[in-house]
Amino acid sequence: MSLMPSRPRVVATDLDGTLLRSDGSLSSRTREAIVAAEAAGVPTLFVTARPPRWLDELADAVGGHGVAICGNGAFVYDLVRRKVTASRGHDPHVMAQVVADLREALPGVTFAVERADGMGREDVYAYPVEHSAVTVVGELTAPMSPPVGKLLARSPGIDPDEFLRVVEEVVGTRVELGFSGAIGLAEMTAAGVTKASGLAAWCEEQGIEAADVWACGDMPNDLPMLEWAGRAHAVANAHADVLAVADVVIASNDDDGVAQLLESLL
C-alpha cells in the first residue's frame, strides 16, 4: 500500500461487526464521532453488504454526502431520498446458468435476489421477516428486471462450510462470492463487483485517490476494500484473514473502535 498522509479525505467503513455494535446498534459515541469528523472535513462513508432497505434506519448518521455503498458494491443508495442512484447487476444469462449449476450440484438449494426495488425470494427460501416486506417470486428464473445486485443462496441440511466450498467450486470466476459473516449464506455479486469497485467508483466521482482513503472492516468481504484503500484498519474482533492484511488493528466494534479512529483525526 502507498504511503499515507496523516489524515484521510474519507473514512470508508463496513457496518455490521465493524461500525455497529454486536447488537446492531450505533452507539452515541460513534454517532457523535461521525458528525464531528464530518464537520472537520473527513466524511464517513458506509460500505456494506446490507441491501438498500436495511439502511433507512441509519439515514440520520450518514453525514452530509447522504449516500452509502451497499450490496457488497452493487448499489449506491441515497439515504436522504431513499433511492438507489446507481447499480451494477448480474448479467441475467450468466446468473441463470449459475443458478442451474448450483441446483444440479446442491439439490435442495434455494435462492433469493436483492434488487433496487427490494428483495425477491423463492417461497422455500429461509428468511427471517425483518426490515421490510419481501416479494415471493416462486421458483427463481432469469432474466429478472430490474437487474439483480445480489444473488443469495441457502441449502438447509448441509454443513455451512461445505456448502460454501461447493458454491465456490461451482461458480468459479463467473460471480464474486462474498462472505460477510452470515452462516450458511452464499452472497454473490456480478463478476468484478465488490466493495472495492463500488468504493473506487464513488471516490473517482469525488476526485479522491485511493491513498486518501482509510478503510475499516471485519470480514472477508471487506478484503478487496481494505486492499484497495490507502490504509486498512481491522477491528479487534475481525476475522483472521482481515487481521492478517490490516495496516492497523483498532479496538473492537463493541469498544467503538471506528469512533476512536475518527476522534483521533479531530
Q: Report the alpha-carbon distance of residue 31 to residue 122 in Å, rounded.
A: 37
What is the rounded average pLDDT of the residues 193-211?
A: 96
Evaluate if residue 127 carries a pLDDT over 80: no
Evaluate if residue 149 carries a pLDDT over 80: yes
- Which single residue is written with the C-alpha cell 461500525? 19
**What confidence category does residue 213 fall into, taking pLDDT thresholds of 50, 70 and 90?**
very high
Evaluate if residue 145 carries a pLDDT over 80: no
Find all residues with CB under 8 Å of 141, minimum gap 6, and list them.
96
**What confidence category does residue 118 fall into, taking pLDDT thresholds of 50, 70 and 90?**
confident
**What confidence category does residue 42 fall into, taking pLDDT thresholds of 50, 70 and 90?**
very high
The grid coordinates of residue 211 equal: 491513498
pLDDT at 139: 67
Between helix 160-171 and helix 92-105 the angle, nearest 10°, is 130
Question: What sections of the chain are H helices per DSSP?
Answer: 28-39, 92-105, 160-171, 195-206, 223-228, 240-245, 257-263
Q: Report the alpha-carbon distance of residue 30 to residue 85 in Å, rounded.
A: 27
CB 229 within 8 A of CB 36: no
Q: Report the alpha-carbon distance of residue 32 to residue 240 in Å, rounded.
A: 30
The structure's pTM equals 0.90
**What confidence category does residue 199 fall into, taking pLDDT thresholds of 50, 70 and 90?**
very high
